[in-house]
Structure 1
C-alpha cells in the first residue's frame, strides 16, 4: 500500500485493552493504515489513548492522527475532493457539516455497523456521520445566589424579577441561532414548533433581556472566567466548559432542561482510501464501551454510548448530555433550515447587537 505523506506524531502510551476487533459485517480485509483528522491538544491525545491505539492493536492497523483545526480541515478536504487525491479517511464534523458537505462525504449504511446499533443512543448513526461527543448549550447558574429555587428554563433566564442578577450570553461569531432559539423558548414556543425560526419574535424577546446581559462572551475560556470571577449569576454556556467549573468545586450547577444539543461527528470522506478500516473504527468506537467513561471524564463531554452511561453512577451520569434523564430534554435544531439561512441569521444578529 502506498503511504500517504502526512506529518504526524503518535504518543507512546502503554495501554492494553482486551477488546476484540470490531468490523462491519460487510467489510473486506482491513487496510494497513487509517488517517483520522481531528483537533489536537487534549481531545486528540485522549482519543489516541482510549480509541486509536486500542483499535490499531486489535486490528493490526496503523492509525495516523492528523492534528488540524476544523476550518482548515474542511478547506483541505475540499481541495482533496477537487483533485481526487484523498488523504484523510475520517474527519471531524458538526451537524451543519453533515448537511452542507454531504457531497464530499461517504454515505454510511448504519444497519451494518452492529456495535453502534447495539450500544449507541437512538440517533448515534446518521447517513453521513457517527456521533463522537455530545454536549449542549445550557443554563449554568450560581447555587450560592439561587439557594432556594434554581432557574431551569429559558423563561427563568429571562425572569429577572424572580431570578435577579447579571447574565451572560454568547457572541461567538459562528452560531447565530443559539440565542434566538433560547429567546423563542423563553417566549413560550414549543420545542417541536421552533423551526422555521420566527426571527422577528425572537429579537423582540431579546430586547427584553438585553439590559441584563453583563457579558457577551466570545470563547469557552471567557465563559468559564466570568463564572469564576462572579461577573454573572447565570449564563448560557457550553456544557463541557460548565462541567469543568463544577468539577473545580465552584458554586455552579447546570440545567439540562431545554439545552440546545451540540454533537460532534466522525465522518468518512468520499473516496477515502482506507474505507474498510474507517468503517471498522467507527464500529469499534462503540464496541469499546469500557473506555468511554474515562474518555468522558477527561474531555467533559458525553459520547453517544448508552452502554457507557450505564457504567456510571446516577449522580455522575446526570452531568452528561446523553444520560436518559437529560437526552430527552435536549432541543434538536433543524440544521437544514439553519444552513439555508446562515447569511440572514448572521446579518440579523450583527445588526441587533451593534445597534
Structure 2
C-alpha cells in the first residue's frame, strides 16, 4: 500500500456513517430542560476514535439536547492535572481519562464530582463498570501490530515480544511516545523473560535496558492516526497500536495490517465530571446519554471496536466482523490488563524516567 493510500484512509473516516439512525428521548425531560449552552470535553483519544463518536453517540446527544459540543484533544492527562493541581479555572465539563489509572489518580486527589443518580442511571452499566465518580467506557486493546507486506505466512511474527528480535524481524518499530497505555514498558519486560503475572510493579531499570536494544529502530508516535500511517505505509515494519485504529484501517482502507492478542495489553477509558466544571449538568447528561444510547453504541463499536459494559449489549450485539478486534473472549484471555492501580500510584515517576530516557542519545 502506498503512503498516499494510507493517508487517504484518514479522510474516509471523516465521512458520515451510512445507515445510522438515532433514538430520540433518551434523557428524561427534566434533565433536558436543564441542559443548554456549550460543553467542552477533555478528549483523551482524538483521531479516528473521536470522529467515530462524533458521527454516532455525540451526534445523537447534540440532536436530542441542542447543546454545542466541542472536544479538546490532549494525548495524555498532563494538562488536566496541571490545571487541577494549580487551582486554575478549567474549560472542561466532561473528562475522558484514557486509562483507569488516570481516573483513580484524579478521583483520589479530589478532582472529580460524584455522578448524580438523578441524571446518570448507573443501573444501565455493569456493576464493575462504574463507581460514584466515573463510568468505565471504550475498552480497547493495546495490540502488537505488523505490516503484512513485510512479513507473511510462516515468517510472520506471533507475539509482542517479537518487537525485540531485530535479526528475525528487521525494520523500524512504531511505539507510543508515552509510557502508559502504549505497552512500551510491558513489552520490554515480557521480551526480557518476565512472566505475565510478575509484570507489576514494573522493573524500570530492566525495561529501559531492554528498550536500549531497539532504541535506534524506534519511530515514536503521539496519536493513533500517526501510528496507523507509519505502519500502513511500511515506514514501520511493526509496532504497538490501539486495536480500534488498526481495525478501522483494515476495514476502511484495506491496510496491510494484522494484530496479535498474545501478550498484548488492554485498558479502558473512563468518563467523569471534574470539580469546577463550567457546565456540570451538561457533562453529567452527556455521560447519561452515552450509556443510554444502545443504537449509538452499536454504531460506534462497528466503527472503532471499543466496547462499553452497557446492560443489554454483549459481544454478539455488534456483528461477526468486529469479534476478532474487541477485548472479549479468547482475545481478553490472551492479552494482559494494564494495572491501573500501579500507574495511579507511580505515573509521575514513570513519565519522568521515560522522558529522560527518550531524550538520551
Aligned residue for 1:107?
114
The residue correspondences of 1:41-190 to structure 2 (distance < 5 A) are 46-55=52-61, 61-70=65-74, 74=80, 78=84, 88-95=92-99, 96-102=101-107, 103-108=110-115, 113-117=122-126, 123-144=128-149, 145-148=151-154, 150-160=156-166, 163-170=168-175, 172-173=177-178, 175=180, 178-190=183-195
Structure 1 contact 30–277 (Cα < 8 Å) conserved:
no
- Asked if residue 31 in structure 1 is aligned to residue 31 in structure 2, the reply is no
Deviation, 1:140, is 0.8
Deviation, 1:22, is 5.1
Three-state SS of the structure 1 residue aligned to 2:234 is coil
Unaligned residue ranges in structure 1 (runs of 5+): 1-10
Three-state SS of the structure 1 residue aligned to 2:114 is coil
Deviation, 1:100, is 2.7
The residue correspondences of 1:219-258 to structure 2 (distance < 5 A) are 219=222, 220-247=224-251, 248-258=253-263
Cα displacement string for residues 163-190 of structure 1 (whole angstroms, at most 9, x for unaligned residues): 4222404251464983221111223333
Deviation, 1:156, is 3.4
In 2, distance between residues paired with 1:41 and 1:234? 20
Question: Number of paired residues?
Answer: 328
In 1, distance between residues paired with 2:322 and 2:266? 19
Unaligned residue ranges in structure 2 (runs of 5+): 1-15
In 2, distance between residues paired with 1:352 and 1:72? 18
Q: Which moved more, 1:145-154 or 1:97-106?
A: 145-154
For the aligned residues, what is the CA RMSD? 3.9
- What TM-score comes out, normalization by structure 1 length? 0.74
Deviation, 1:152, is 3.0
Aligned residue for 2:219?
216
Structure 1 contact 172–218 (Cα < 8 Å) conserved:
yes
In 2, distance between residues paired with 1:41 and 1:243? 14
In 1, distance between residues paired with 2:124 and 2:331? 23
In 2, distance between residues paired with 1:176 and 1:326? 17
Aligned residue for 2:7?
none
Deviation, 1:241, is 3.4
In the superposition, relative to structure 1, how do residues 347 and 297 fare at CA in structure 2: closer, same or farther (>3 Å)? same
In the superposition, relative to structure 1, how do residues 146 and 282 fare at CA in structure 2: closer, same or farther (>3 Å)? same
In 2, distance between residues paired with 1:78 and 1:238? 28
Deviation, 1:254, is 0.7
In 1, distance between residues paired with 2:198 and 2:210? 17
Structure 2 contact 35–285 (Cα < 8 Å) conserved:
no
Deviation, 1:294, is 2.3
In the superposition, relative to structure 1, how do residues 46 and 236 fare at CA in structure 2: closer, same or farther (>3 Å)? closer
Deviation, 1:347, is 4.5
Structure 1 contact 130–266 (Cα < 8 Å) conserved:
yes
Structure 2 contact 121–288 (Cα < 8 Å) conserved:
no
In 1, distance between residues paired with 2:91 and 2:153? 54
Structure 1 contact 195–334 (Cα < 8 Å) conserved:
yes
Structure 1 contact 170–217 (Cα < 8 Å) conserved:
yes
Three-state SS of the structure 2 residue aligned to 1:104 is coil
In 2, distance between residues paired with 1:305 and 1:343? 30
Deviation, 1:105, is 0.5
- Among candidates 263, 267, 272, match of residue 268 of structure 2: 263
Structure 2 contact 144–264 (Cα < 8 Å) conserved:
yes
